[in-house]
Amino acid sequence: MSSRPELQAPPEIFYNDTEARKYTSSSRIIEIQAKLSERALELLALPDDGVPRLLLDIGCGSGLSGETLSENGHQWIGLDISESMLNVASERDVDGDLLLGDMGQGLGLRPGVIDGAISISAVQWLCNADKSSHEPRLRLKAFFTSLYRCLARGARAVLQVYPENVAQRELILGFAMRAGFSGGVVVDFPHSTKSRKEYFVLTCGPPSLSTAVPKAKGEDGESCSDDESSGDEENQTVS
């Protein structure tokens, strides 16, 4: 059976009570999630002025990535389709406001209120038709249109993903561009099968000098540390 969760079951079923607790109690998962979230926050390139921002964590799960946002002084809203994951987040008393919802049906947030958005290992789920009523292209359109609408002008969204293949990467990026975003893909450690990580770095608005895609880590053959060589364990079933 594939180790990719999105190919095994819909997220609200895959991340049931047992899996949600198992996921959140794994020290390795916690470590990987923190590193991915720290990198996503770095790529958001928020002003270094000490002012807390209101951020959105899409597919927030049990709040592991939200903890990184809190530790950096920001307020956040977390959205997830798994009630079990959100229950664990509530039990852990995370600082963010939690919303139960399906990102493929749109985010339902007021226009222009979000200063930045992150998503860790979630957006690729939109490419699967988990129900007969699911059409991936319509779900991607609803997601990116609503994400663009809720972001402040010039704000960034950083979406860390595990695309199944090049076609899936291009499909996701295409819908982001059609929604009005500028930007592209940052691939950290592109020459390492184990450490390679992909981030869609998207800016709300047309291309400009300030919306240039940031430099990736390890582009020039730079070696990764043991901490950065975390593999794809975060995207696998926790045993």
C-alpha closest to that of 201 among 214, 190, 210: 214
Identify the residue with better confidence: 53 or 12: 53
Q: Is the pLDDT of residue 173 over 80?
A: yes
Terminus-to-terminus CA distance in the chain, angstroms? 14
pTM: 0.83
Q: Please give the residue that has the higher pLDDT: either 131 or 164.
A: 164
Each residue's pLDDT tens digit, 180-237: 999 999 999 998 888 899 999 999 987 765 656 777 887 665 545 444 444 444 443 3
Per DSSP, 225 falls in state: P
Phi, psi of 115, rounded to the nearest 5 degrees: -90, -10
- Where do the DSSP E strands lie in the chain? 54-58, 75-80, 97-100, 114-120, 151-161, 181-188, 197-204
Long-range contacts of 66-69 (CB under 8 A, 24+ apart): 66/94, 66/95, 66/96, 67/34, 67/37, 67/94, 67/95, 68/34, 68/37, 68/38, 68/41, 69/37, 69/41, 69/96, 69/118
Share of the chain above pLDDT 70, in %: 77
d(CA 139, CA 144): 9
Could you give the count of Cα atoms lying within 13 Å of 41 in the half-sphere of its Cβ? 24
pLDDT digits (tens, 9 = 90+) for 66-107: 999 999 999 999 999 999 999 999 998 999 999 999 999 999
**Domain extents for the chain?**
5-209
Please give the sequence-ordered ranges of beta strands (E in DSSP) within 23-149, or none if there are none: 54-58, 75-80, 97-100, 114-120
The model's confidence at residue 16, banded by pLDDT at 50, 70 and 90, is low
Q: What residues contact residue 91 under an 8 Å CB cut-off, 6+ apart?
A: none
CATH number given to 5-209: 3.40.50.150
